[in-house]
Amino acid sequence: MADPAQRRQAIEPREISQESDTQLRISWADDKVCVYHAAHLRRACPCAQCVNEWTGQRTLKPEVISDDLEIRDLNIVGRYALNFRWSDGHETGIYSFQYLRDLCEQ
């Protein structure tokens, strides 16, 4: 089994860069590089408005999010997550690094 300390290390981003209005790139400590499309991230928003907290069921309908959705702002929350402000005004999602890494590997 992997050493938990090593596993945590692996999901640390080394570099987070907004490539364009619709694209985000994360380089991870283990050299993996992930490129995310804004609309894809927005549709995966983990906040309580987008996912039912009790059932875990996604209440946000993917089709209401435009493919042209843009990233307006990006903040690092603590040392574990990212928060986005999207062009549709939504800004309550906290995307942990672990979650972002999982999205990349799906």
Among all chains, which residue has been given the structure tokens 């907290």? 53
Instruction: Report, in Å, the least distance between residue 2 CB and Zn ion.
Output: 31
Q: DSSP E strands: which ranges in 45-96?
A: 71-77, 81-86, 94-96
Which of positions 39-98 make contact with Zn ion (CB under 5 A)? 45, 47, 49-50, 93
Among all chains, which residue has been given the structure tokens 């570099």? 15
Count CB-CB contacts under 10 A for residue 41: 22
- Residue span binding Zn ion (CB under 5 A) among the ranges 14-22, 37-45, 61-69, 77-85: 37-45
Instruction: Report, in Å, the least distance between residue 19 CB and Zn ion.
Output: 22
Contacting positions for Zn ion (CB under 5 A): 45, 47, 49-50, 93
